Amino acid sequence: MNNPTANQVRLPHEQETIRAKCFHPTGTFVEFRKEEIEQSIPERFEKTVRLYPEQLALKARGCSLTYQALNQTANRIAHAILVQRGQGEKAVALLFDQGAPLSAALFGVLKAGKFYVLLNPSLPQARLNFMLEDSQSSLLVTSSEHLSLARGFDRKGLGLINVDDLDSSLATKNPGISISPIALTWISYTSGSTGQPKGVVQNHRNLLHLVMTQTNDLHICPQDRLLTLASAGGDTLLAVLNGAAIFPANIKQEGLASVGDWMIQEEITVYNSVPSVFRHFVNTLRGDETFSKLRLIRLTGESVYRRDVELYRKHFPKNCIIVNRLSSSEAPTFRQYFINHSTSITDSVVPVGYAVADNEILLLGDDGKEVDANEIGEIAVKSRHLSPGYWLNPDLTRAKFLPAPGEEEKRIYRTGDLGRMRPDGCLVYFGRKDFQVKIRGNRVELAEIERGLLSLGGFDEAAVVALKDPSGEQRLVAYLVPTNQTPVTVSALRRSLSEKLPDHMIPSAFVMLAALPCKVDRQALPVPVQVRPELDIPFAAPRAPFEATVAGIWANTLGLDQVGIHDEFFDLGGHSLAAMRIVSQIIKTFHSELPVKALFESPTVADMALVIAQNQAKNVGDEEFARMLRELEAMSEDEARKQLAGATKKPEYTVGTNDLAK
């Protein structure tokens, strides 16, 4: 079926041509009809199970589930929830890493007629406690892996279900609960300007509408195999509500180095991630991979740059296309831009593109009126399928979601993003209007970080800005005015902040000032010097060429003049994507297998060098391994410093003052 569907919008000829070729070469695409959004997600899922019971639904590392097996597992979880909490709409918290148990649990919650709150086990305990309390969750579903963490929550009356220890008597049949299309499906917590996360809610109809538009525009079919490096939710629904297979990857644990080979081995047809993860994934490729089955790369969450398109052309086949999407928790995918090998990208940033069915874009000025043609304005989305609003926050809901005059079923959501419309209807994105930024695909309110810093005590003022690091990614820099002259180390700051904020919200650099500029003029803030921060431990130079090489890789990746062998990775401003870059460079330099988790388990240069030596020892004899260890330990301090001077090249990193305001 290669004709545009009734639910697709008309696009310019070039865009229409690309979309028209976006089909699985052997798969049969079935249109997702508009009337099918007037049901619940479990209804659609159970219909898919009846059509494809023995077809692969989900595959993660070490686990594969057919549609029938996934449905039966979800049903058992649903019945366990109903036993504990009965029927009725209630929030259920899910504490899982990315993978098969999470996917089964989220369907189990929805089948029980509840809505879920995703709790990432890597978040600080204080933040998880807030989300549990604010969502009013009375039940927590988890696995044995996180049972200890789950038992540590202090919410009174919180029930607990371990999916690895379900009662064997629980039924595997569908619960058969009647669920309205406007019933809630989830609460998604994002950074909040008040200093606390805010919860965005969604319902079944809106998510099915998202699946409908993406299914019909991208022609998702039962023969597709979708890899997702993003969080569970939309990608999982897009796959399993169409008979396709979802492959969730936990890159924090597994890294990116093996993703390319896994994609080829599993014949992945659709790739999904934020742009920053995509470019780091591409940097792990050898260059000889052949992604013959890959037909689609879906990117969203951050700006896509022209250099990303160049990487795509270099590594992926001509029958593969990119779709750059603009979306938010409040307004799922409302703009998209199709790119193939022939698409001309003239600007440094790729446009976010053209209309998606049932979504209209308005560009508003400060007065709330539409701006004139070719002018920049705040992007507002007019649609029937916007989020119902913010959980338990009617004032914020009224401020961000406005009525659409003359169209009772529609509302207008002011995104806070700036854009300009080209004459042909193509939307160009110009960044945020306020002090909200995107860090590794996560929406961050700078005010929340500033409040977190001030709550630590010892500082009179705090300002946080986002600027680009040497790799082109956004990073956070904190400017602080200490209350007294008592020195504070970056190590101590990070430890304290990590109890309040998730990793992506902890600044990578801290600058102490006597005072902030008047009215906190971010353009007047000084450029941070790229030197090793003041840590709890003194600098220790590498003791051998082996360590010096590792230290040099760390320094160049983190943009520092030097790295001590006992410095903690995260104290130096490291984060998950930097860890992936370091591990990728280590593998290329030492030809040694090294999972990303090795960096988290061995978070210093000395520890990492020992792990690499031990891995290499597998390929050498005991005598040679002993010689390597003797060399590592016997070098004098002066010799080590000479080696370090030759191995660690100071990075070229200059930032103009204008970059601080971005």
In this structure, what token pair is assigned to residue 591? 């030809």
Average pLDDT of 134-152?
95
Which residues, other chains included, contact 122 with Cβ-Cβ below 8 Å and sequence gap of 6+? 252, 502, 503
Q: What is the pLDDT of residue 311?
A: 93
Res. 267: pLDDT tops 90: yes
Least confident of 369-383, 434-448, 467-481, 645-659: 645-659
Q: What is the pLDDT of residue 639?
A: 47
Equal fold, 436-534 vs 545-647: no
Confidence band for 523, pLDDT divided at 50, 70 and 90: low
Q: What is the pLDDT of residue 653?
A: 27
Tell how strand 411-421 and strand 377-383 pair up: antiparallel
Confidence band for 71, pLDDT divided at 50, 70 and 90: very high
Question: What is the value of pTM for the model shown?
Answer: 0.75
Contact (CB, 8 A) for 32 and 220:
no
In this structure, what token pair is assigned to residue 153? 């929550």
Q: What is the pLDDT of residue 278?
A: 92
Residue 166 CB-density burial (10 A; 0-12 exposed, 13-18 middle, 19+ buried)? middle
In angstroms, the first-to-last Cα distance of the chain is: 45
* Mean pLDDT over each residue of the chain, to the nearest integer: 86
Closest CA to 420 of 376, 378, 355: 376
Least confident of 7-21, 68-82, 642-656: 642-656
Q: What is the pLDDT of residue 648?
A: 37
Confidence band for 411, pLDDT divided at 50, 70 and 90: very high
The sign of the torsion formed by the CA atoms of 112, 113, 119, 125 equals negative
Specify which of 361-375, 566-580, 593-607, 615-629 reaches the highest per-range mean pLDDT. Answer: 361-375
Q: What is the pLDDT of residue 68?
A: 98
Q: How many helices (H) and strands (E) does the chain have?
A: 21, 26
Average pLDDT of 237-253?
92
Task: Decide yes or no: CATH 3.40.50.12780 for domain 13-420.
Answer: yes
**pLDDT tens readout for residues 350-363:** 999 999 999 999 99
Res. 494: pLDDT tops 90: no
Confidence band for 473, pLDDT divided at 50, 70 and 90: confident
Contact (CB, 8 A) for 324 and 336:
yes
Q: What is the pLDDT of residue 656?
A: 27
Confidence band for 246, pLDDT divided at 50, 70 and 90: very high
Query: What is the third-level CATH fold of 545-647?
Result: 1.10.1200
Q: Is the backbone of residue 657 left (phi > 0), alpha (psi -120 to 50) or beta?
A: alpha
Say how far apart CA 104 and CA 404 lie, in whole Å. Answer: 38
Least confident of 198-212, 256-270, 504-518: 504-518
Q: What is the pLDDT of residue 521?
A: 55
Which residues, other chains included, contact 221 with Cβ-Cβ below 8 Å and sequence gap of 6+? 23, 24, 27, 28, 29, 30, 242, 243, 244
Least confident of 77-91, 419-433, 590-604: 590-604
Q: What is the pLDDT of residue 518?
A: 55
Res. 117: pLDDT tops 80: yes
User: Percent of the chain at pLDDT above 90?
Assistant: 51
Q: What is the pLDDT of residue 645?
A: 40
Superfamily of domain 436-534: ANL, C-terminal domain (3.30.300.30)
Res. 32: pLDDT tops 70: yes
Res. 414: pLDDT tops 70: yes
Least confident of 77-86, 427-436, 521-530: 521-530
Res. 367: pLDDT tops 70: yes
Average pLDDT of 40-55?
98
Least confident of 24-33, 157-166, 367-376, 445-454: 445-454
Residue 140 or 513, more confident: 140
Least confident of 11-15, 23-27, 256-260, 435-439: 435-439
Beta strands in 394-494, from DSSP E residues, in sequence order? 401-403, 411-421, 427-432, 436-439, 442-445, 459-468, 474-482
Say how far apart CA 364 and CA 378 lie, in whole Å. Answer: 5
Res. 316: pLDDT tops 50: yes
Least confident of 29-43, 492-506, 617-631: 617-631
Which residues, other chains included, contact 390 with Cβ-Cβ below 8 Å and sequence gap of 6+? 198, 199, 200, 201, 396, 397, 400
Average pLDDT of 78-92?
95
Q: What is the pLDDT of residue 413?
A: 97
Residue 45 or 275, more confident: 45
With residue 498 as reference, give the H or E element that holds it.
helix 490-498
Average pLDDT of 217-234?
90
Res. 107: pLDDT tops 80: yes
Contact (CB, 8 A) for 292 and 307:
no
Specify which of 142-146, 495-499, 537-541 reaches the highest per-range mean pLDDT. Answer: 142-146
Q: Could you state, in order of their start, the residue ranges of all structural domains in the chain? A: 13-420, 436-534, 545-647
Average pLDDT of 56-71?
94
Say how far apart CA 430 and CA 42 lie, in whole Å. Answer: 38
**pLDDT tens readout for residues 565-582:** 898 888 887 877 788 788
Res. 338: pLDDT tops 80: yes
Res. 295: pLDDT tops 50: yes
